[in-house]
Structure 1
Amino acid sequence: MVRSPLLLAASALALTLSVGGCKVSTTEDKPVAAASGGALGIKPEALDKSVAPGDDFYAFTNGGWMKSTEIPADRSSIGAFYIADQVREKNTRELFDNLLKSDQDANSNEGRIANYYKAYLNTDAIDKTGMAPAKVDLDAIAAIADKKALSAAIGSSLRADVDPLNSTNFQTGNLFGIFVTQGLNTPGETLPYILQGGLGMPEREYYLSADGKMADLRGKYQTYIQSVLQAAGYLDPAGAAGRIVALETKIAQAHASREESEDFSKAAKVWTRAELEKNAPGIDWTALLDAAQLGGAPKFQAYHSTAIPKLAALVGSEPLDAWKDWLAFQTLNAQANVLPKPIRDASFAFKGTALQGTPQQRPRDIQALNATSNALRDAVGKAYVDKYFPASAKAEVQQMVDRIKAAFAKRVEALDWMAPSTKQEALAKVKSIVVGVGYPDSWRDYGAVTITPDNAYANAKAASLAEYRHQIAKIGKPMDRAEWWMPPQLVNAVNLPVQNALNFPAAILVAPFFDPNADPAYNYGAIGSVIGHEISHSFDNNGALFDSTGKLRNWWTPQDFARFQKAGDALAKQFDAYEPLPGLHVNGKLTLGENIADVAGLAAAYQAYQDSLGGKPGPTIDGFTPDQRFFIAYGQAWATKMREETLRGRIATDGHAPGQYRAQTVRNLDPWYGAFDVKPGQKLYLKPEERVKVW
């Protein structure tokens, strides 16, 4: 999940059987519906009852599903998020189909949606037009005559395309990424953040790793670059591709590591305009910032303060022609999906197949639907929630949020090792979290955005520029704590550390995460654990360093923080031991923030579920006890199958551990042992003193 990540069982006589020392139940010879509608919620047919829960809880909860489910040819992975996203996709398809039945005013949101979709879908027109839409951009790059003009070209390419705080997104093909929110240590003051960028592959390790598979990807990447430049009519595509890879390798060497990037304490440097120019010579900063519409910004959050000077120096030292080749390629790479077929196909062959192992492209109409939804997020989002997100669902989830917040606060109050001063700060923070459920209170105005039905390239650029202008318009203004960073039509959820806020988009509030017809044990185990996860991000290894105002400030006593870190070290070691492929281990340090949020969030969700019962026992349904349903719902929410290429990329670059290991989080919660009669000697068993308890 984000700073990131089962249905109905038919009514039948439940048969109880012994599975690895615990008692669970199943239904026999009855079909299971593919949609919501029953109290049980969990999917008995997804279980593998031949596996003891105490040996492999993921295989127990999802083994049947793993055996019966294939990854579609046009997907790199599949799982619970995919299931929920199928609902989102079906709804959006229906929404668009109804909208396209009649002509829409081009100046309305409906007209913009229709025009963006039509232009993106019409590959015949895109192919016929060829490189003409990109000609102005490519001609401008070709005309660059000196480093001042190069700096301006780099500046004009910058977009608000990274998010280090909320969604741990550090990747941009532009030389720098821009992000705008309250400064890490400037409460109440909104700043532009400058991040490292410039790579066409996901991150630095793809360029620098000695691993043979990474080296193979470097060769495929250079072939991809050559294919794109050849399709664009470059005179020497092979030579240019070599120069681009050489330049990007130097850029990668300048980058901070992923682990360093996720350490907010290393990012808390504010530079004035004068300090930016002094600390990072090589670029003409006046030309760059003016072109980026940031010339009036008095200060910047130098998020990657060690990388920015090195990247600036490369602008000054590397040959102008190499930079021009790089700019041309990155321009085409960013717009590959709306350029002629040879470029589209080359892009998918590398990004889809080489990087992720996906053998087949998604149908163009689905690509058009999703591209439109991403480009016009609020326009599509408002139409989506108006039709598909009932007020009753919003109210029920809001009630769960309130209960889980209260449960988290109760758990903090009960800590006997925490000093009163630390506890007071923690309670102030959890009680002041702002939670958005379903959709934002206000919507983006797209009135200044021109979208035509016949120029997909121009539409993509216009939408990206509109988003950038929206973001930089916030500079110098008070932070809006109610601002949303995800559209409603996204299957995800997010914690916003400097806002001390959470967003739960409407699209995740469906099965297998939320079922209004299911028993509360299921919903607290599924969406409740997601809610608890996001609340707990405010108290993970990074979130715990922000106070209730969103300022990066250590509010811990030294003794308390040492104990907190000790628990984190134990959890990192636990995840380091997981080995999804021979010799390939999960990085416990890289994934620590997400893993802390999983442990603490699941514990808070369980506490909230118990509190919701008011001291009364929960019902046993079809032979499953309440605690069994709670934990199985959690395990099934992390159902995951990935192609090997995707899995390797996840381990190398993602702060989220693969789902099969997130499901094993249950081994740290005492009630799980009782629910499934887990005994010493079973593979997941941890002695009580070894179970990681964070919050």
Structure 2
Amino acid sequence: MRKLVIGGLCASLIAGLTACNDGTKATTEAVKPETAKTATAAAVEKALTSGITFDNMDKSVRPQDDFYLYVNGGWMNTAEIPGDRTNIGAFYDLRENAKQDVKAIIEDLSASDTLTEGTDEQKVADLYRSFMDVETLNKLGVTPLKATFDKIAALKDKNELVTFFAENQVNGGGTPLAFYINVDAKDSSRYATHIWQYGLSLPEKDYYFNDSERFINIRKAYLEHIEKMFNLAGLENAKASAASILALETAIAEKHWDVVETRDSTKTYNKFEVSELATLAPDINWTGYLAALGADKQADIIINQPSYIQGFNEVLKANDLDTWKTYMTWQALTHAASNLSEALDNENFDFFAKTLNGQAEQEPRWKRGVSTVSSTLGEVVGKVYVKRHFVPEAKDRMEHLVENLRSAYGSSIDSLDWMSEATKVAAKDKLAKFNPKIGYPNKWADYSKLSIKADDLVGNITRAAIVEHNRNIAKLGQPIDKDEWHMTPQTVNAYYNPTMNEIVFPAAILQPPFFNLEADDAVNYGGIGAVIGHEMGHGFDDQGAKFDGEGNMRDWWTEADLKAFESKGKALIAQYNGYQVFDDLHVNGELTLGENIGDLSGVTIAYKAYKMSLNGKEAPVIDGLTGDERFFMGFSQIWRVKMKEEALRNRVATDPHSPGHFRAIGALSNMPEFYSTYDVKEGDKMYIAPENRVKIW
């Protein structure tokens, strides 16, 4: 799926085929959390805590050797990953809590026996019921896909096939071409159409070509999985179809750009006149394709990977129509599998969750139902979530923290010895134009056009995809919506969006260990302060630094400054390439460069902001810890995570974030203040010689 070009804190945000869903009736009124708990009154009357979870520590580890294990090692040694999960830790545990909170909201919204058709409450209740009604799903089997299967079978030629690619995407299904709407990276005043490479079922192109035993076994299991799914669906020629599908996906994968290339904003910006597409790929029915998407009136389109489009043209020609029909039948089946019968759902889980990620058991169905509601009707739930779980004091304190971080960033830019004055002026202009969004949207999205039925899960998801596609198409030619969010309030994450120059912090991340209203400032600057700095840092990472304060991708650097900046990036790549995840696998420093810059910038600027906030005073000692110790421990404890090996291997292969362990020690190993706080010396495992430490911002 298309990865929206924004810098996220924890995981990539998916757009295009499954764009973030927006919510309820639009209004310019912000939610007033009048029913939220007013938490800080008691905290004011008692001493603030350190905010450090001492039970998680392993004091047998020297902080100079591995600060992450020093802070989190006790927990790492004893914590067990439940069978229905592939990971546990700071992010993931908060997400589990959010699911419980959303479940309560769904149950409350669904409590009435007489829900009025078309209301938000009816839609939430009936969507959840449609997911939980396994008896109906078992009776239906693959019947909800019959119309799609019939449409595929009736395709007469490849022109109709390409048109169907577009139709299937509008309905939320799979396709080799991922069309989406986003702000034009070189003209942030307009929305533009884009196409991104797509069409693979395995996580990344290397899964189709790597000849190590693990990948050979995955491909074998994938073949068996497709065959089982075809048999369960009552489709013919299951074994031959599986071989045909894997062969076609392998041909598509061969044309894909790799994960490092696809994060390059310069390489992926290629604007074509629509009239030029026939020259780029003459065998693709562009007229039918764009018309089916509702985008046939556009004069231009941004092709993110032009060589993929050219290569796909060859794959399209080289494979006969029947092969493509088999492939598209699989795309329909695999995309809908988790919303079909128990048998199909369980087989889908066995391969994609158990085989690929090591997850032993399915999540309880209610959790998956909650996720379906939250992703489909996200802001309906989000509006209630904010009222119940987000206190006004949290937003006030966050706004204060953001401005302190902004001031510290400006001060840091002023003091850089490697950047010229001309570039500093442009950098500070961009910094001044950062737009922070905290907690929840100023206006809520409108679901009034979405019809939800209690006995039609696949239909509900399809109709939601159509409404979302039409909402995005309607943006074309309209002013940029500065109020739009790409995460719901109940999401435990944060992001930076370069074309909007905005930093966004949903309500659900603003709780311990990231943000603790009852804790002293030190741990909050080390936690949420570093998160704020991380998202600001994305504005100045190797890709974000290509965008100016207005969100336009342009060169605002002097040549010498850019070379110095790139040199620092190369040093960071080399540092992270040296971190071994397993004996046979190391962190990909190129893939993770942007996030590593974000982490290093974030904790550096957060520390500076924390020291500035003391106004020259000594921080108090709390729980036997100095302010600096609490700061660094607060930073390390937010990255606490434990993952199944299979899931971690997949993350290293595909995720632009380093594993949590290396996010903590990698950034701190470059900070002189960490060295002085813990007396780190040559010979200690975290020691990097001063001349080799990386300081960017």
TM-score category of the 2 structures, normalised to the smaller one: over 0.9
Report the Cα offset of residue 83 of structure 1: 2.0
Structure 2 letter corresponding to 1:290: A
Matches within 5 A, 1:207-606: 207-606=208-607
Aligned twin of 2:53? 43
Count matched residues.
Answer: 655
Find the aligned partners of 2:388 and 2:494 in 1 and give their Cα distance.
21
CA 1:37–1:96: 2 relative to 1, 3 Å: farther
**Secondary structure, aligned partner of 1:278:** helix
- 1:201-244 per-residue CA deviation (whole Å, 9 max, x = no partner) reads 11111112222211211111111111111111111111111111
CA contact (8 A) 2:51 2:519 kept: yes
Aligned twin of 1:77? 87
Find the aligned partners of 2:448 and 2:685 in 1 and give their Cα distance.
59
Find the aligned partners of 2:8 and 2:301 in 1 and give their Cα distance.
23
**Secondary structure, aligned partner of 1:189:** strand
Find the aligned partners of 1:254 and 1:370 in 2 and give their Cα distance.
33
CA contact (8 A) 2:188 2:500 kept: no
Structure 2 letter corresponding to 1:205: D
**Secondary structure, aligned partner of 1:547:** coil
**Secondary structure, aligned partner of 1:597:** helix
Which shows bigger deviation, 37-46 or 145-154? 37-46
Find the aligned partners of 1:469 and 1:434 in 2 and give their Cα distance.
27
- 1:281-337 per-residue CA deviation (whole Å, 9 max, x = no partner) reads 211111111112222222111111111121133223311111111111111111111
Find the aligned partners of 2:343 and 2:656 in 1 and give their Cα distance.
34
**Secondary structure, aligned partner of 2:112:** coil
Matches within 5 A, 1:53-92: 53-92=63-102
Structure 2 letter corresponding to 1:95: I
Which shows bigger deviation, 382-391 or 502-511? 382-391
Aligned twin of 1:133? 144
CA contact (8 A) 1:281 1:313 kept: no
- 1:615-670 per-residue CA deviation (whole Å, 9 max, x = no partner) reads 11111101011111111111110011111111111111111110000010111111
Report the Cα offset of residue 494 of structure 1: 0.5
Aligned twin of 1:8? none
Identity of aligned residues (%): 37
CA contact (8 A) 2:128 2:369 kept: yes
Aligned twin of 2:164? 153
In the alignment, structure 2 segments of 5+ residues that lack a partner are 1-5, 11-45
Structure 2 letter corresponding to 1:363: P
Aligned twin of 1:143? 154
Matches within 5 A, 1:682-693: 682-693=684-695
CA contact (8 A) 2:273 2:299 kept: yes
Find the aligned partners of 2:482 and 2:423 in 1 and give their Cα distance.
24
Report the Cα offset of residue 140 of structure 1: 0.7
Report the Cα offset of residue 601 of structure 1: 0.8
Report the Cα offset of residue 464 of structure 1: 1.7
TM-score (norm. length: structure 2): 0.92
Structure 2 letter corresponding to 1:67: N
Find the aligned partners of 1:216 and 1:410 in 2 and give their Cα distance.
53
Aligned twin of 2:680? 678
Structure 1 letter corresponding to 2:293: A
- 1:2-31 per-residue CA deviation (whole Å, 9 max, x = no partner) reads 5333xxxxxxxxxxxxxxxxxxxxxxxxxx
Report the Cα offset of residue 94 of structure 1: 1.5
Aligned twin of 1:610? 611
Structure 1 letter corresponding to 2:688: L
Structure 2 letter corresponding to 1:136: A
CA contact (8 A) 1:160 1:471 kept: no
Report the Cα offset of residue 160 of structure 1: 10
Find the aligned partners of 1:591 and 1:150 in 2 and give their Cα distance.
37
Find the aligned partners of 2:417 and 2:349 in 1 and give their Cα distance.
55
Find the aligned partners of 1:684 and 1:228 in 2 and give their Cα distance.
49
| Aligned-residue RMSD, C-alpha | 1.6
In the alignment, structure 1 segments of 5+ residues that lack a partner are 6-35, 162-171
Report the Cα offset of residue 513 of structure 1: 0.8
Find the aligned partners of 2:58 and 2:171 in 1 and give their Cα distance.
45
**Secondary structure, aligned partner of 2:586:** coil
Find the aligned partners of 1:118 and 1:359 in 2 and give their Cα distance.
26
**Secondary structure, aligned partner of 2:688:** coil
- 1:328-373 per-residue CA deviation (whole Å, 9 max, x = no partner) reads 1111111111111221011100110111000000000111011110
Find the aligned partners of 1:430 and 1:590 in 2 and give their Cα distance.
25
Aligned twin of 1:17? none
- 1:486-516 per-residue CA deviation (whole Å, 9 max, x = no partner) reads 1111100000011111110111111111111
- 1:237-270 per-residue CA deviation (whole Å, 9 max, x = no partner) reads 1111111100000000011111110111101210
CA contact (8 A) 1:490 1:506 kept: yes
Report the Cα offset of residue 395 of structure 1: 1.1
Structure 1 letter corresponding to 2:669: R
Aligned twin of 1:14? none
- 1:30-84 per-residue CA deviation (whole Å, 9 max, x = no partner) reads xxxxxx9961111111111011111111111110010120111111111110121
Structure 2 letter corresponding to 1:686: I
Aligned twin of 1:176? 177
CA contact (8 A) 2:106 2:381 kept: no
TM-score (norm. length: structure 1): 0.92
Find the aligned partners of 2:196 and 2:241 in 1 and give their Cα distance.
26
Are residues 1:111 and 2:117 paired?
no
**Secondary structure, aligned partner of 2:585:** coil
Structure 2 letter corresponding to 1:130: G
Find the aligned partners of 1:594 and 1:106 in 2 and give their Cα distance.
45
Find the aligned partners of 2:170 and 2:311 in 1 and give their Cα distance.
20
Find the aligned partners of 2:320 and 2:307 in 1 and give their Cα distance.
22
CA contact (8 A) 1:133 1:458 kept: yes
Aligned twin of 1:4? 9
**Secondary structure, aligned partner of 1:178:** strand
CA 1:37–1:361: 2 relative to 1, 3 Å: farther
Find the aligned partners of 1:197 and 1:140 in 2 and give their Cα distance.
21
Report the Cα offset of residue 139 of structure 1: 0.8
Find the aligned partners of 2:319 and 2:128 in 1 and give their Cα distance.
40
Which shows bigger deviation, 502-511 or 312-321? 312-321
Aligned twin of 1:19? none
**Secondary structure, aligned partner of 2:579:** coil
**Secondary structure, aligned partner of 2:696:** coil
